């Protein structure tokens, strides 16, 4: 279990306890947190669960991107070097306290 903080583009904060094994994307969807669309349902084929990891230390601590994630991020709305696809961030106790920022929009 990890407590994940989701911050919308307008600053609205949401916190959710997300079970281990779920993705950060699923944590948002299951808790009705707006700002993550996840059109493809977690297949890494749509780039609509894009988030920023604003904290450098957290960004480095996350498991590295697998092949294809950066390719998908090319298609995201305003990708930056601290962009991730939240469907690829699998929750474990290690992610307790992670904060993700949502982009202005997903498409």
Partner 1 sequence: MIKTDVVIIGAGPTGLFCAHQLGIIGLKCEIVDNLDKIGGQCIELYPDKPIYDIPAVPKCTGEELTNNLIEQIKPFNFNFHLSDRVQELKNENNKWLVKTLNGKEFETPNIVIAGGVGSFEPRKFPTKSAEKYDGKSVLYSIKDKTIFKDKSVVIFGGGDSALDWAIELSNSSKVTLVHRRDEFRGAPASVQKIKELSDNNTIDLITKYSIKDVKGNGSLESVEIKSESGESKVIKADYVLGFFGLIMQLGPIAEWGLNLDKKTIPVNTENFETNKKGIFAIGDICTYPGKLKLILSGFHEGALAARGCFKYARPDEKYRFEFTTASSTIKDRLGVKE
Name the site residues for partner 1 (rule: CB under 8 A): 37, 39-41, 43, 45-48, 70-71, 74-75, 77-81, 104, 107
State how far the Cα of 14 lies from the Cα of 53, in Å rounded to an integer.
Answer: 15
Q: What is residue 61's three-state secondary structure?
A: helix
Shortest gap between Cβ of 24 and partner 1 (angstroms)?
Answer: 19
Shortest gap between Cβ of 69 and partner 1 (angstroms)?
Answer: 11
Pick the closer one to partner 1 by CB: 27 or 79: 79
Edge-to-edge strands of the sheet including 2-7?
13-18, 2-7, 99-101, 50-52, 83-85
Nearest Cα residue to 28 out of 43, 56, 48:
48
Pick the closer one to partner 1 by CB: 40 or 62: 40
Pick the closer one to partner 1 by CB: 36 or 95: 36
Shortest gap between Cβ of 95 and partner 1 (angstroms)?
Answer: 25
Pick the closer one to partner 1 by CB: 37 or 55: 37
DSSP string, 26-51: HHHHHTT-TT---TTSSSSSS--SEE
């Amino acid at each position: 279990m990890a407590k994940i903080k989701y911050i919308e583009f307008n600053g609205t904060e949401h916190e959710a306890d997300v079970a281990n094994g779920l993705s950060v994307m699923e944590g948002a969807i299951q808790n009705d947190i707006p700002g993550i669309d996840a059109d493809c349902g977690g297949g890494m084929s749509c780039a609509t669960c894009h988030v920023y990891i604003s904290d450098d230390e957290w960004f480095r601590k996350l498991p590295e991107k697998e092949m294809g994630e950066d390719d998908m991020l090319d298609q995201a709305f305003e990708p930056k070097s601290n962009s991730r696809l939240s469907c690829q961030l699998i929750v474990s106790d290690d992610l307790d306290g992670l904060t993700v920022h949502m982009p202005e929009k997903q498409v």
